[in-house]
């Protein structure tokens, strides 16, 4: 695992060299393929070196991180044309990538916490440095304070675990089972805010709307998954109390998911709509993890992977429109099928994956989560029916609004999609729909 970290570190000087924009992007894609060829032991941690290790959950999420980072660079070509602090931008992405890589591969709980929080700083820099509107400062503050407020109890909880276990290795957690309400709350609160759970989700739409395209992509694809990853890890030691208390979070998540799905229909900003749809998807993931059964864990993992690729792709699409129309409003982004017919196909493909149509990973994840939640209690069925139905509803709403209708006469100079954009969307969509062929790897990693 150390060799990849070294490669990341030595790629940082590359960011500041002349005409190295695409080189860095290609290097990251190369890294993805190198990482893919690691030998993974499905049942246990492997590739151990210097506190770094990798099991099936880490492996998938690290792969997703590197892949999305390469696509972020690909999506941010406008920065290269403007030459707007390009070196710093690339360095920021590299630092974020290193932080995420370390978060997912750390075996030590405290180091995991350190990098979990550290990944916030490059994201904040992205939003404040390369965002669009003056409100980005407020969005950055929301992001920072929501996350930090919930994270201090997590730090205390980790110290408590060290005090009682005399070790902070994630691998040893499975030998312990705490039944302490305060420990339970302090350990999961930070992850629930990061997911985000309904009630503590307000930072997400703000951060998404103000962030540049790269910020939105990494927020949707990876930052939300940090919460899910943390929950999957700490739920092992909270089993006893989890069986008593988890129902609260399942209920909040499912009702929240329904309300947020309905809220999507009120949005007039494309980015805002996609951001709220992320919250709705993550509510099902929280529900799945909190039921604490096998299907729930697998479903949550598959859904996180699927949502990471799908949501990131949708943000790319909204940005492609924004670069041409200089607006994300649904009132202005109309009738684009007349102007960019090929792009319309990609809108359709991304939307169909978002509403969990086969053969996307989202479908498999949603089936597993529904399976898990209904086996936990049949009363969840009503909520799940509504969430799935509205999920299809707002996806169709966004698609039909942007692609059909009369186009805005203000579009006086408009260029169609370029090959870079099609490649970028293709690289989102192909893994999302081809990984279903290897679904057995997702299913047997316990």
Identify the pLDDT of residue 442: 83
Task: State the Cα–Cα distance between residues 6 and 1, nearest whole angstrom.
Answer: 9
Give the pLDDT confidence of 195-220 residue by residue, as tens digits: 999 999 999 999 999 999 999 999 99
Give the pLDDT confidence of 297-351 residue by residue, as tens digits: 999 999 999 999 999 999 999 999 999 888 899 998 988 898 889 999 999 999 9
Q: Is the pLDDT of residue 446 over 70?
A: no
Closest listed residue to residue 109, CA positions, set 183, 8, 181: 183
Identify the pLDDT of residue 293: 92
Give the pLDDT confidence of 236-257 residue by residue, as tens digits: 999 999 999 999 999 999 999 9
Identify the pLDDT of residue 441: 82
Using H for helix, E for strand and C for coil, what is the string for the chain?
CHHHHHHHHHHHHHHCCCCCHHHHHHHHHHHHHHHHCCCCCCCCCEEEECCEEECHHHHHHHHHHHHHHHHHHHHCHHHHHHCCCHHHHHHHHHHHHHHHHHHHHECEHHHHHHHHHHCHHHHHHHHHHHCCCCCHHHHHHHHHHHHHHHHHHHHHHHHHHHHHHCCCEHHHHHHCCCCCHHHHHHHHHHHHHHCCCCCCCCHHHHHHHHCCHHHHHHHHHHHHHHHHHHHHHHHHHHHHHHHHHHHHHHHHHHHHHHHHHHHHCCCCEHHHHHHHHHHHHHHHHHHHHHHCCHHHHHHHHHHHHHHHHHHHHHHHHHHHHHHHHCCCECCCCCCHHHHCHHHHHHHHHHHHHHCCCCCCHHHHHHHHHHHHHHHHCCCHHHHHHHHHHHHHHHHHHHHHHHHCCCCCCCCCCCCCCCHHHHHHHHHHHHHHHHHHHHHHHHHCCC
Identify the pLDDT of residue 44: 84
Give the pLDDT confidence of 147-172 residue by residue, as tens digits: 999 999 999 999 999 999 999 999 88
Identify the pLDDT of residue 147: 92
Q: Give the residue-averaged pLDDT of 272-280.
A: 96
Give the pLDDT confidence of 34-81 residue by residue, as tens digits: 999 988 887 788 888 888 999 889 999 999 999 999 999 999 999 988
Identify the pLDDT of residue 372: 96
- Residue 37 has a CB neighbour count (10 Å cut-off) of 7
Identify the pLDDT of residue 40: 84
Identify the pLDDT of residue 118: 94
Structural domain boundaries, residue 156: 1-443
What is the pTM (predicted TM-score) of this model?
0.96
Q: Give the residue-averaged pLDDT of 417-445.
A: 91
Q: Is the pLDDT of residue 266 over 80?
A: yes
Identify the pLDDT of residue 343: 93
Identify the pLDDT of residue 173: 87
User: How much is the mean pLDDT over the chain?
Assistant: 93
Confidence of residue 410 (pLDDT cuts 50, 70, 90): confident
| Domain count along the chain | 1
């Amino acid at each position: 695992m150390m060799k990849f970290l070294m490669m990341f570190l030595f790629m940082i000087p590359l960011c500041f060299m002349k005409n190295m924009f695409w080189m860095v992007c290609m290097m990251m894609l190369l890294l993805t393929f190198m990482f893919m060829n690691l030998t993974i032991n499905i049942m246990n941690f492997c590739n151990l070196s210097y506190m770094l290790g990798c099991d099936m959950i880490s492996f998938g999420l690290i792969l997703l991180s590197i892949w999305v980072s390469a696509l972020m660079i690909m999506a941010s070509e406008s920065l290269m044309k403007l030459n707007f602090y390009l070196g710093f931008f690339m360095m920021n992405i590299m630092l974020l990538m290193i932080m995420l890589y370390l978060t997912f591969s750390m075996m030590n709980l405290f180091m995991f916490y350190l990098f979990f929080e550290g990944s916030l700083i490059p994201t904040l820099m992205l939003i404040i440095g390369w965002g669009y509107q003056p409100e980005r400062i407020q969005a950055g503050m929301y992001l920072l304070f929501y996350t930090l407020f919930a994270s201090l109890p997590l730090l205390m909880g980790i110290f408590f675990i060290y005090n009682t276990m005399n070790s902070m290795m994630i691998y040893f957690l499975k030998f312990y089972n705490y039944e302490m309400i305060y420990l339970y709350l302090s350990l999961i609160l930070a992850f629930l805010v990061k997911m985000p759970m309904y009630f503590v989700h307000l930072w997400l739409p703000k951060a998404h709307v103000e962030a540049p395209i790269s910020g939105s992509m990494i927020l949707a694809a990876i930052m939300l998954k940090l919460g899910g990853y943390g929950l999957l890890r700490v739920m092992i030691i909270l089993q006893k109390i989890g069986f008593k208390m988890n129902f609260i979070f399942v209920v909040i998540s499912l009702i929240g998911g329904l309300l947020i799905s309905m809220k999507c229909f009120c949005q007039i900003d494309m980015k805002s709509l996609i951001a709220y749809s992320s919250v709705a998807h993550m509510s099902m993931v929280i529900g799945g993890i909190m039921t604490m059964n096998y299907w729930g864990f697998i479903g949550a993992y598959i859904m996180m992977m699927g949502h990471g690729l799908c949501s990131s792709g949708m943000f790319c699409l909204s940005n492609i429109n924004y670069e041409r129309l200089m607006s994300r409003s649904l009132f202005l982004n109309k009738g684009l099928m007349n102007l960019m017919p090929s792009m319309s196909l990609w809108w359709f493909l991304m939307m169909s994956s978002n509403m969990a149509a086969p053969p996307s990973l989202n479908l498999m994840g949603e089936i597993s989560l529904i399976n898990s939640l209904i086996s936990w209690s049949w009363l969840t069925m009503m909520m799940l029916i509504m969430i799935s139905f509205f999920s299809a509803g707002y996806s169709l709403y966004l698609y039909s609004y942007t692609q059909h209708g009369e186009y805005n006469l203000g579009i006086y100079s408009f260029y169609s999609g370029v090959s870079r954009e099609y490649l970028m969307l293709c690289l989102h969509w192909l893994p999302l729909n081809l990984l279903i062929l290897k679904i057995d790897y997702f299913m047997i990693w316990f």
